[in-house]
Amino acid sequence: MLHHLINRLLLLIPMLLGITLISFSVIHLAPGSPTDLQTMMNPKVSLEAQKRLRELYGLDKPLHVQYLNWLTRVVRLDLGRSFAPDGRPVWDKIKERLPVTISINLLAMLLILAVAIPIGVIAATHPHSWFDRGTTLFVFLGFAMPGFWLALLVMMFFGVYLDWLPLSGLTSLFFERLSFWEKVQDLARHLVLPVLVSAFGGLAGMSRYMRGNMLEVIRQDYVTTARAKGLPERTVIFKHAMRNALLPVVTILGLSVPGLIGGSVIFESIFAIPGMGQLFYSAVMSRDYPLVMGALVIGAVLTLIGNLLADISYALVDPRLRVG
């Protein structure tokens, strides 16, 4: 177990190097030098910003020197200063947005697990029933539904037509004046739609996956054995079968992290939620290169952490790995 963990942690180093290397090459994708060609023709980038960009990346130096310089700064979380008029450090800007995005994604994950696992289990234990057919249809819809369209539809229905839920933002204008419980309520009302929408895509995939796992596990010998010794069906399904079918779900959850983080760009800009996705989107729109690069690196690092956590929890729940 410990050996496994140390191995995983050591593997992080080359991965982090690779992530920074790819991110670094992205900024050099632009034809010619990123400062000269792109910015001179781009009226959005001022002369002063060009100078800052050149300083940040040391663009007059050879490529490997540029990369090493940039890397040593990234390691110290010095991602440069934003091009925005406030000129604040990129890390500060990202830091204040991260909790919002992480909480929404965690809530979405919880929702995915809470809904997809029962769906998968029921569909697998009642194959070809109306429930199974219904959820299969739902899964196909879920795979084909553009998340941003679903966002528009629920906004239109719950926000405009029924007028039950707020359309955008994280809090109401009068938030500061509310009591604690009213604040919680206000926040929750704002979060319902974004969390629902970001969970939707994963919901389809996860319930499909859970169904497949369950079908597989139910055919195993130990399940037959459990039934043969006369255990009640409930115990067989929930204790013997489901626990084993749940194992790979942890891995899938880890793999869904990049999708969720990427999706936050769309949902946060639709629902005007001040998270990292929205920050990234506005950085792209205003060609705020340091912020774009910073968000790219942080996004990849978050994914890496998500995968690592999934790995660790897998090791924790799987006795074969825990003991071995």
Partner 1 sequence: MAGTFLKREFWPRFRRNRLAVSGLVLVAGLFLVSLLAPVLAPYDPNYIDIQAILMPPSSAHLMGTDSLGRDVFSRIIYGARISLKVGFVAVGLATLIGVLIGAVAGYYGGWVDNLLMRLVDLMLCFPTFFLILAVIAILEPSIWNIMVIIGLTGWMGVARLVRAEFLTLKEREFVQAARALGASDRRIIFRHLLPNALAPVMVSATLGVAGAILTESALSFLGLGVQPPTPSWGNILTAGKDNIEIAWWLSVFPGLAILVTVMGYNLLGEGIREAIDPRLKE
The binding site for partner 1 (CB under 8 A) comprises 14-15, 18-19, 22-23, 26-27, 29-30, 34, 38, 140-141, 143-149, 152-153, 155-156, 159-160, 167, 212, 215, 257-259, 261-263, 265-266, 269-270, 280-281, 283-285, 287, 289, 292-293, 295-296, 299-300, 303-304, 307
Least CB distance from residue 176 to partner 1, whole Å?
A: 27
Measured from the CB atom, the residue of 196 and 265 that comes closer to partner 1 is 265
Handedness of CA 242, 248, 252, 254 (dihedral sign): positive
Asked if residues 112 and 199 have their Cβ atoms less than 8 Å apart, the reply is yes
Measured from the CB atom, the residue of 143 and 222 that comes closer to partner 1 is 143
Asked if residues 84 and 76 have their Cβ atoms less than 8 Å apart, the reply is no
Asked if residues 111 and 316 have their Cβ atoms less than 8 Å apart, the reply is no
One-letter amino acid of 66 = Q
Backbone angles phi, psi at 222, to 5 degrees: -65, -25
What is each CA distance from 199 to 251, 252, 253, in whole angstroms?
A: 17, 14, 12
Least CB distance from residue 75 to partner 1, whole Å?
A: 17
Measured from the CB atom, the residue of 32 and 324 that comes closer to partner 1 is 32
Q: Is 81 helix (H, G, I), strand (E, B) or coil?
A: strand
Asked if residues 215 and 124 have their Cβ atoms less than 8 Å apart, the reply is yes
Least CB distance from residue 150 to partner 1, whole Å?
A: 8
Measured from the CB atom, the residue of 149 and 184 that comes closer to partner 1 is 149
Measured from the CB atom, the residue of 14 and 85 that comes closer to partner 1 is 14
Measured from the CB atom, the residue of 189 and 287 that comes closer to partner 1 is 287
How many residues does this entry show for the chain? Answer: 324
Least CB distance from residue 277 to partner 1, whole Å?
A: 9
Least CB distance from residue 66 to partner 1, whole Å?
A: 16
Crossing angle of the two packed helices 289-317 and 90-125, in degrees rounded to 10: 40
Q: Is 89 helix (H, G, I), strand (E, B) or coil?
A: strand
Least CB distance from residue 212 to partner 1, whole Å?
A: 7
From the list 248, 163, 260, the residue with the least C-alpha distance to 209 is: 248
